[in-house]
Amino acid sequence: MDRPDTASTCGIVLEHVHKEFPGGIVAVRDLSLTVEPGELVVLVGPSGSGKTTVLRMVAGLETVTAGQVRIAGRVVTGLSPRHRNVAMVFQNYALYAHMTVRANIGFALRMAGTPKREIHMRVNQAANILGITELLDRKPGQLSGGQRQRVAMGRAIVREPAAFLMDEPLSNLDAKLRVEMRAEITHVHRRIGAPTLYVTHDQTEAMTMGNRVAILRQGRLEQIGTPLELYERPVNVFVAGFIGSPAMNLLPARLDSSGDDWYATVGGCRIPILPPARVALWPFAGHDILLGLRPEDLVSTEDARDSEHGIIQATVARTESLGSELLVYLSLNSDVTSPPLTARLDRRTAVQQGTYTRIGVNLQRLYFFDPTSGAAIR
């Protein structure tokens, strides 16, 4: 197990980590994950997926039931938080309300017995990086949300920790500030270079900030990869539905073949299946499958080319113009029980609510899933 790879000497390594709370609630199941030095890995998943528990186990705030945690090549599984050399940014910032910003940022250094002059210098340096020099003498209660966030970051970076942990640090900020801080955290991370584990439930944050993204569901790692890998090649229905906004359309379909003609039937429409996909789909011929269509892979019929696009007929239930694009919510045929279909069309597309319309489907970009296991067929 102790391969002398770079991560085991410098990064964060979780090996077969398992967490069971008293009462038999399993929060994390057999999780193995590596954060390379200089890498930012985002742990993302719905609430209750165990992502915060993972972070807390790395920090030492939660015990590990089984498995091993290593930071910078050192086994820290049984160590107390203070011996792990880990910095964490909390969701609600967790600032020390009775101390000034300067004392907040310098607290860890003071606890470590760093000389006063050095504390002063390093706090100034951290404040400078984050642009909070003029706030150093204030108390946290006098700061705005964004400023508090910066102080929390300052408290983390001043220590030059072996690993960085962030627990939904942006979720208490408004939308505009969130975008700003997203860029800032990425910038600071590049500058500091410590391996970072970042927890969020917001897939946009995950996609924009992570070098790699790990998707958790019910304590299990569903998939880990670069944001593009997760988007392009989701391993199952859960990942497919979680990554991408608006979410991927997942439609129950029937796969049929007659000679050289392969097609999936969805709500009475036949969608041809191109030869490259057929090998994997072979066992499912004549059976039900789940057909995945990303909203951005649907086009209006004017933009559809016969060779590349199949056609779906549907009724326009609702439209939402976002200015730059048009979201069209469709229902297949008159079948009210069929799941709605979301299409992301060019903003100039002319569609009217309530009308029956034809939508082009990019045949190169179809996703297929096993309806029983949810696993991708490819």
List contacts with another protein (CB under 8 A): 59-61, 80-82, 84, 86-88, 90-98, 107-108, 111-112, 155, 159
- Tell the smallest beta-carbon distance from residue 24 to another protein (Å): 17
249 - beta bridge partners?
Answer: 293
Using omega within 30 degrees of 0 as the cis cutoff, is the peptide bond preceding 246 cis?
A: yes
- Name which of 109 and 237 has its Cβ closer to another protein: 109
Residues paired with residue 376 on neighbouring β-strands, in sequence order = 369
DSSP string computed for 60-97: TSS--SEEEEEETTEE-TTS-GGGS-EEEE-TT----T
Q: Which is nearer to another protein, 91 or 315 (CB)?
A: 91
CB of 303 to another protein, least distance (A): 51
Cβ closest to another protein, residue 58 vs residue 213: 58
CB of 166 to another protein, least distance (A): 12
Report, in Å, the least distance between residue 223 CB and another protein.
29
Judged by beta carbon, residue 85 or residue 362, the one nearer another protein is 85
Helix (H) or strand (E) holding 141: none
DSSP string of 263-323, one letter each residue = EEEETTEEEE--HHHHHHHGGGTTSEEEEEE-GGGEEETTT--TTTEEEEEEEEEEEEE-S
Closer residue to another protein (CB): 155 or 178: 155
| Structure tokens that stand for 302 in this block | 């004017």
Which segments of the chain does DSSP mark as H helices, in order?
6-10, 51-59, 101-111, 116-130, 145-157, 175-192, 203-209, 227-232, 237-242, 275-281
- CB 139 → another protein: shortest distance, Å? 12
Shortest distance in whole angstroms from residue 204 CB to another protein: 25
* Closer residue to another protein in complex, CB, 12/230: 12
